[in-house]
Amino acid sequence: MSFEFLAIDYRHPAFSAAMLLLVVATVAFLDHLLNFSRKKRQAKKLTRFLSRFDSANSGKDYKALLTLQPDSFDSLMLLADINFKSGQYAESIHILLALLEIVVDKSRRVEAMTRLGRSYHKAGFYQRSRDILLESLKLKARNEEALELLLAIYEQTKEYNRALETLDALEELDGERSLERSLLKAKAIENDPLLSAEKKGAALIELSKKEPRLFRLAFEFTLEHNPQNVWRVIDEERIPDALDLFWRMPKDRFIESEALKYPLLRELYAAKGRTDSATNSAIFEFDALIKLGAHKTIADLEFEYRCSGCMASFPVHFTRCPNCQSAEGARVELILTKSAKSDKERYDQSANFY
Ligand SMILES: [Zn+2]
C-alpha cells in the first residue's frame, strides 16, 4: 500500500497555509487563556487583600452607583477628596474602598489606592496606610505621592532603615535630599537601643558638623544626656534655631563665661535677667525685656515654631512639618507674654494685704 498521496498533500501550499493558520490560532487562544487566568488570579488576590479592610455597609451605595454608572469614577474620587479635605476621613475611606472593589483600570486603581493610603494615614491607621501604599507600589513603583506618604509613616513609626530605603527610591525620582537623609540618620542614632548616650551624642555632633541644620538636634540631645559637653557643641550661626532651649536652660547647666562669648546669647540672658551683658537688642522681644530692667518679672517669653515651607505655626517644635510634611525645619519665634509668676506674686501680695 502506498502513502504517496499523503506526501503530495503535505507539500501542497494550501496545506502549509492551513497548518500555519492553525498554529497561529492555537497560540492566540492559549495566550488569551493565560491572560484570562492571570487577570482572574490578580482580581482574586486583590479581593482577598481588600477584604482585610472592612468597607462596612455604608460603601454599598457607592458600589451600586459605580456599577450602574461606570463613568462616575471621577465624581466619586472628587467626593472622596472633599471628605478628606474637610476631615471626614472615615467617609473618604468608605468611598475609596467601594471604588477599589469595582474599578479594574490599573491607573485608576493606583490613584484610588494612593488616596486610600493618604486617608488611612490622616485617620491614624498607619499599618493599613502602609499596607495599601505598598500594594499600590506593586502596580506602579514610580509613585511619588505613595513614596512620600510611606516616608512619613516610617518616620512616625520610627522604622528609620525602611525610611532610608524609601528615601533612596524618592531620590531616584527627583534628586538628592541630603537634609532628610541626615535627619533620618540622626533619628536612627537617637533611637538606637544598642548605643550609649555618650556614643549617640558624639555621633550626633559629628553629623551636625556635616549638616549644620542638625545643630539644634545635637545640642538638645547633649543638653539632656551629656550636659557637661553642652558648651562645646555650640555653632554660633545656628543659635537662632535653639533660642527656646537656651532660654529654658536649667541654671545648673548654664555657664556665664561660655554664654557671654556669643553676642546673641548676651542679649538673651540679659533679657532673662541672668546677666547684665547687654543694654539693648535688635530683637524687639529681648530689647523690651532688657528695658523693663528690675520690672522684667512682669513679663515672660513663650515660643512658637513656624514652618519655613507653608508658614503654619505650632506650639511644639518639629523636624517635619505636621501640615505640609516639609523637612526644612521650624523657625523659632518669640512671643512676649504676661508672666504667670507675676500674677501669682500680685495675688499673694493682695491676699496678704487683705
Ligand atoms: Zn509646613
User: pLDDT at position 243, please?
Assistant: 97
d(CA 45, CA 41): 6
Closest CA to 91 of 129, 55, 132, 47: 55
d(CA 155, CA 180): 11
Three-state secondary structure call for residue 3: coil
What is the pLDDT confidence band of residue 6, given thresholds at 50, 70 and 90? very low
Strand order in the sheet with 313-314: 313-314, 299-307, 330-338
Q: Find cell 507653608 and name the residue.
A: 310
Residue 196 DSSP label: -
Contact 255, 231 (CB under 8 A): yes
Contact 285, 301 (CB under 8 A): yes
pLDDT digits (tens, 9 = 90+) for 292-327: 887 777 889 999 999 989 999 999 999 889 888 888
Say yes or no to pLDDT of 222 above 80.
yes
User: pLDDT at position 73, please?
Assistant: 86
Q: Compute, in angstroms, the gap from residue 157 CA to the centroid of ligand 1.
A: 20
Q: Compute, in angstroms, the gap from residue 128 CA to the centroid of ligand 1.
A: 25
Q: Compute, in angstroms, the gap from residue 316 CA to the centroid of ligand 1.
A: 13
Higher pLDDT pick, 55 / 311:
311
Q: Compute, in angstroms, the gap from residue 3 CA to the centroid of ligand 1.
A: 87
Averaged pLDDT for residues 221-230: 94
Q: Compute, in angstroms, the gap from residue 159 CA to the centroid of ligand 1.
A: 22
Q: Compute, in angstroms, the gap from residue 17 CA to the centroid of ligand 1.
A: 69
d(CA 278, CA 274): 11
Q: Compute, in angstroms, the gap from residue 304 CA to the centroid of ligand 1.
A: 14
pLDDT digits (tens, 9 = 90+) for 136-152: 999 999 999 999 999 99
Q: Compute, in angstroms, the gap from residue 318 CA to the centroid of ligand 1.
A: 10
Closest CA to 94 of 123, 67, 133: 123
Q: Compute, in angstroms, the gap from residue 194 CA to the centroid of ligand 1.
A: 33
Higher pLDDT pick, 30 / 75:
75
User: pLDDT at position 67, please?
Assistant: 76
- Per cent of the chain over pLDDT 90 is 66
Buried b (16+ CB within 10 A) or exposed e, 292-321: eeeebeebbbebbbbbeeeeeeeeebebbb
Amino acid sitting at position 285 = E
Mean pLDDT taken over the chain? 86
Q: Compute, in angstroms, the gap from residue 135 CA to the centroid of ligand 1.
A: 28
Averaged pLDDT for residues 82-97: 94
Distances (CA, A) of 267 to 64, 233, 263: 68, 20, 7
What is the pLDDT confidence band of residue 354, given thresholds at 50, 70 and 90? very low
Q: Compute, in angstroms, the gap from residue 321 CA to the centroid of ligand 1.
A: 5
Say yes or no to pLDDT of 55 above 90.
no
pLDDT digits (tens, 9 = 90+) for 189-220: 999 999 999 999 999 999 999 999 999 999 99
Q: Sign (positive/negative) of CA torsion 287, 290, 293, 299?
A: positive
User: pLDDT at position 62, please?
Assistant: 78
Residue 11: how many other CB atoms lie within 10 Å: 9
pLDDT digits (tens, 9 = 90+) for 91-150: 999 999 999 988 889 999 999 999 999 999 999 999 999 999 999 999 999 999 999 999
Say yes or no to pLDDT of 7 above 60.
no
Residue 177: all three cell numbers together: 535630599
Q: Compute, in angstroms, the gap from residue 236 CA to the centroid of ligand 1.
A: 26
User: pLDDT at position 344, please?
Assistant: 54
Domains and CATH numbers, the chain: 32-170 (1.25.40.10), 176-233 (no CATH), 237-354 (no CATH)
Say yes or no to pLDDT of 31 above 50.
yes
d(CA 336, CA 41): 65
Q: H or E element: which one contains 149?
A: helix 144-156
User: pLDDT at position 33, please?
Assistant: 72
Q: Compute, in angstroms, the gap from residue 136 CA to the centroid of ligand 1.
A: 26
Q: Compute, in angstroms, the gap from residue 329 CA to the centroid of ligand 1.
A: 9
User: pLDDT at position 351, please?
Assistant: 47
User: pLDDT at position 324, please?
Assistant: 86
pTM of the model as a whole:
0.71
Say yes or no to pLDDT of 343 above 70.
no
Averaged pLDDT for residues 56-62: 63
Q: Compute, in angstroms, the gap from residue 324 CA to the centroid of ligand 1.
A: 4
Q: Compute, in angstroms, the gap from residue 313 CA to the centroid of ligand 1.
A: 8
Higher pLDDT pick, 127 / 51:
127
d(CA 76, CA 92): 9
Q: Compute, in angstroms, the gap from residue 306 CA to the centroid of ligand 1.
A: 8
Give 85's contacts (C-beta < 8 A, 6+ positions apart). Answer: none
Higher pLDDT pick, 277 / 235:
235
Q: Compute, in angstroms, the gap from residue 333 CA to the centroid of ligand 1.
A: 15
